[in-house]
Structure 1
Amino acid sequence: MRTNKDLYRIALTQIKGVGVMHARTLMQVIGDEEAIFKEDVRKLEAIPRISRRLINEIRDPEVLKKAEKELAFVENNKLRLFFFTDDDYPQRLTQCIDAPLLLYARGNADFNHQKTISVVGTRNSTRYGEDFCKEFIEELSRRIPDVQVISGLAYGIDICAHRAALKHNLSTVAVLAHGLDRIYPQIHRQTAVEMLQQGALLTEFPSGTNPDKHNFVKRNRIVAGMADAVVVIESAEKGGSLTTADIANSYYREVFAIPGRIRDKMSTGCNRLISDNKAILFQSIDGFISHMGWEPDEKQSIPIQQDLFPELSEEESVLFEKLNEKGAMHVNTLAIELNIPVSDLFMTLLELEVKNIVTSLPGGMYQLV
């Protein structure tokens, strides 16, 4: 359902010189999208790091004109909008400091699946990489039938991952490096259309945005941030997949790489990720599921009374209660549910580990002892 805030949310992303951090500051101080464009100039001037030049850009009438045009495109094409304060915005992204303010989507996907993976790799994939991709997703669909597969609709491994997900009835999301007025590459249009029924096309870029090189770099941070784990299947010595892996590491996501023969050009990047300890060596689907803590929990957990640990601080108590309620949880899920930055959460988890109340599991999972 459209709200009168949509126009101003789009406009906030159209202001020249106002990036994610400035926009977040404006929202934090002003508190309302529409008010940002109608607030008294003196109040805007009092906001840290908001210069007179930026204020002039905010008040430029062309900003709202462009936003009106984009809103018409959104409504005519029945797109969905996700603002960073919305409950249905991809919550894993909220823990990423550079997450987009606004996302445009076409399709039916829920962007907050309990389990998500991003599958990335070279555009110049080999039979080895494509066969692995298909077999991995087929087996994953049997073992974890509710997992969501994210990729970028590009040639090679990306399109292979999307098609395998569709074949095995998994939700799959393509994160695009351009607006939703086109599909790139055009040859993947039919697959994109099929994805709309059990997945979605997602982008931060408004209509009219071309698939320029720098947009793919920006796209990759969404691919990394939306997933619990990034699986890199084939990469040359340099490539976008390695950038995605680096970003995923900075977001505290799990990164797996598929090893290859040392003389295979398209395995060079994966082998280096593993040797540099930037990725976990992928050896088997069993190992992957175990490391992620996605094995079925057959044990009935018995609630633990918090008064057994009277020395807990307020932060530790909140974390204790959540783990006591939910059982084993991934650190990123904990951060989202408790609305605590991952870096701060790690410190509290460490304190609870020292007190022998919490134990860490493979794959960034934590549970009560």
Structure 2
Amino acid sequence: MPNVESYDDLVLHIAFARLKGNNFSLGTQILDKVGDERRFFGMSEAELQKTMNARSPILDDDYRRALLERALRQARHADKINVDFIYYSDSRFPRRLANCADAPLGLFIAGDTDLNASHIISVVGTRRATSYGISSASKFVSELASMVPNLVVVSGLAYGIDVAAHRAALDSGIPTVAVSAVPLDRIYPETHRPVAVKMIQNGGAVLTEYDFESHTNPSLFLARNRIVAGMCDCLLVMESDRKGGSMTTASLANSYDREVFALPGRITDPYSRGCNKLISTNGAHILTEPCDLAEYLGWAHSNVPQQKQFPLDLTDEQLCIVRYLDANADSLPVQIASAVSMSLADVQDALFQLELMGCVASTPAGGYSASH
């Protein structure tokens, strides 16, 4: 293997995130056994096989060497075009997404948006949207923007419902994020480049898991739907036939325990059939008025934040963890460890004690939040 000391952490993170078949579940399992990314790329294939007690093409010396070389090219190109890479241990990484087992370990991002804003909705629907779907998407985004503080709108920049949601967010003066299925030195569809540029200029972002040498493939558009579903608190399906990407995204959102809402339509309208099916099979709540959605989610009223009081007998380390979780709900132990500069083992021990004390609570997805 090459001298990994010559590579900085950014290159190692990009390379590790790009391991074939890698995701949050597999990646954290590897790191639990190996220790860190530098050791993973610095060990020989034989050493890795012994440590992992497994054989796999991703442990091959030449394969890992090629990954590092490719990652170095990506880091240089990203810097050249003002694109950032956020790794799963970075506090900027969307913590809602980090709680999904199949989430990517890193994202390339253009723009500067709080991906952990207190309220995030994803809006999806058919590319062949009707005037009913487009006007409804615009109405829900604009009215929610006026009643819900710190709202971010996520979609996929596609024709139809996606771009209608982005435009409505821009018109309402709130950040909107596009999850792209192509590298960030390209925009798809190209006709939406002005929208993407305006999004970035107005506090939004365009992000993707794919590096600059990735080739466009239809399967990538389906794969990106898990990011759209995983980043949000709730998913709004505005128009869809019985099959399609929006129905896949709704299924993913349900599997991630997200709230799913669907816009009802006439039974004779092809692009309402999917929404009506979701509603009739309890795969989604019926979407009628923005205020009803906000009320259901508990977003209807903005409360003035108050200074939270913590037990006086907490250690400095425990207090640091609780304060971090108070601002970053549903965080995983590895994210906490990175944010508070503690070892993973020490964080896990502290979380156990804090949970017994009632200061933190574990979440179904394996994360932790401060108790309220």
Query: Is the 2:17–2:104 Cα contact (8 Å) retained in structure 1?
Result: no
After superposition, the C-alpha distances for 1:245-266 in whole angstroms (9 at most, x for unaligned) are 0000000000000000110111
For this pair of structures, how many residues does the alignment match?
330
Q: Which residue of 2 aligns with 1:277?
A: 282
Query: Is the 2:262–2:285 Cα contact (8 Å) retained in structure 1?
Result: yes
- TM-score normalized by the length of structure 1: 0.80
> What residue identity is the alignment partner of 2:110?
R
Structure 1 residue corresponding to 2:178, chosen from 170, 174, 180: 174
Deviation, structure 1 residue 26: 2.2
Q: Which residue of 2 aligns with 1:312?
A: none
What are the equivalent positions in structure 2 for 1:138-217 lying under 5 Å apart? 138-197=142-201, 198-217=203-222
Of all paired residues, the percent bearing the same amino acid is 37
Deviation, structure 1 residue 283: 1.9
For 1:124 and 1:24, locate their aligned partners in 2 and report how far apart those are by CA, in whole Å: 40
Query: Is the 1:15–1:57 Cα contact (8 Å) retained in structure 2?
Result: no
Q: Which residue of 2 aligns with 1:353?
A: none
After superposition, the C-alpha distances for 1:201-249 in whole angstroms (9 at most, x for unaligned) are 0100001323321101110000000000000000011110010000000
What are the equivalent positions in structure 2 for 1:237-248 lying under 5 Å apart? 237-248=242-253
Structure 1's 247 and 57: CA in aligned 2 closer, same or farther, altered over 3 A?
Answer: farther
Whether 2:119 is the aligned partner of 1:97: answer: no
Q: Which residue of 2 aligns with 1:75?
A: 79
- How well do the aligned residues superpose, as a CA RMSD in angstroms? 3.2
Query: Is the 1:223–1:244 Cα contact (8 Å) retained in structure 2?
Result: yes
For 2:235 and 2:229, locate their aligned partners in 1 and report how far apart those are by CA, in whole Å: 7
> What residue identity is the alignment partner of 2:300?
E
Whether 2:241 is the aligned partner of 1:229: answer: no
Task: State which drifts further: 7-16 or 131-140.
Answer: 7-16
For 2:106 and 2:307, locate their aligned partners in 1 and report how far apart those are by CA, in whole Å: 41
> What residue identity is the alignment partner of 1:35?
R
What are the equivalent positions in structure 2 for 1:5-20 lying under 5 Å apart? 5-16=9-20, 18=22, 20=24
Unaligned runs of 5+ in 1: 307-317, 350-366
For 1:19 and 1:300, locate their aligned partners in 2 and report how far apart those are by CA, in whole Å: 35
Whether 2:127 is the aligned partner of 1:123: answer: yes
For 2:196 and 2:181, locate their aligned partners in 1 and report how far apart those are by CA, in whole Å: 14
Q: Which residue of 2 aligns with 1:354?
A: none
Query: Is the 2:122–2:236 Cα contact (8 Å) retained in structure 1?
Result: yes
For 1:305 and 1:110, locate their aligned partners in 2 and report how far apart those are by CA, in whole Å: 26
Task: State which drifts further: 57-66 or 32-41.
Answer: 57-66
For 2:223 and 2:107, locate their aligned partners in 1 and report how far apart those are by CA, in whole Å: 13
What are the equivalent positions in structure 2 for 1:17-56 lying under 5 Å apart? 18=22, 20-48=24-52, 50-51=54-55, 53-56=57-60
Q: Which residue of 2 aligns with 1:257?
A: 262
Query: Is the 1:95–1:341 Cα contact (8 Å) retained in structure 2?
Result: no
Structure 2 residue corresponding to 1:137, chosen from 129, 135, 141: 141
After superposition, the C-alpha distances for 1:174-205 in whole angstroms (9 at most, x for unaligned) are 00011111000000010000011210001000
Structure 2 residue corresponding to 1:106, chosen from 101, 106, 110: 110
Query: Is the 1:181–1:208 Cα contact (8 Å) retained in structure 2?
Result: no
> What residue identity is the alignment partner of 2:77?
F
Structure 1's 161 and 49: CA in aligned 2 closer, same or farther, altered over 3 A?
Answer: farther
> What residue identity is the alignment partner of 1:63?
L
Deviation, structure 1 residue 13: 3.1
Deviation, structure 1 residue 89: 0.7
Query: Is the 2:24–2:100 Cα contact (8 Å) retained in structure 1?
Result: no
For 1:300 and 1:265, locate their aligned partners in 2 and report how far apart those are by CA, in whole Å: 45
Structure 1's 155 and 174: CA in aligned 2 closer, same or farther, altered over 3 A?
Answer: same
> What residue identity is the alignment partner of 1:161?
A
Query: Is the 1:335–1:342 Cα contact (8 Å) retained in structure 2?
Result: no
Query: Is the 1:118–1:230 Cα contact (8 Å) retained in structure 2?
Result: yes
After superposition, the C-alpha distances for 1:295-352 in whole angstroms (9 at most, x for unaligned) are 226699999999xxxxxxxxxxx9xxx8xx97xx9xx94566958441578xx99xxx
> What residue identity is the alignment partner of 1:29?
K
For 2:363 and 2:303, locate their aligned partners in 1 and report how far apart those are by CA, in whole Å: 31
> What residue identity is the alignment partner of 2:260?
V
Query: Is the 1:82–1:89 Cα contact (8 Å) retained in structure 2?
Result: yes
In structure 1, the residue corresponding to 2:127 is in which secondary structure?
A: coil
Deviation, structure 1 residue 81: 0.9
Whether 2:347 is the aligned partner of 1:342: answer: no
Query: Is the 1:176–1:201 Cα contact (8 Å) retained in structure 2?
Result: yes
Deviation, structure 1 residue 160: 0.3
> What residue identity is the alignment partner of 2:33?
V
> What residue identity is the alignment partner of 1:342?
P
For 2:213 and 2:305, locate their aligned partners in 1 and report how far apart those are by CA, in whole Å: 53
Structure 1's 300 and 32: CA in aligned 2 closer, same or farther, altered over 3 A?
Answer: closer
> What residue identity is the alignment partner of 1:148?
V
In structure 2, the residue corresponding to 1:103 is in which secondary structure?
A: strand
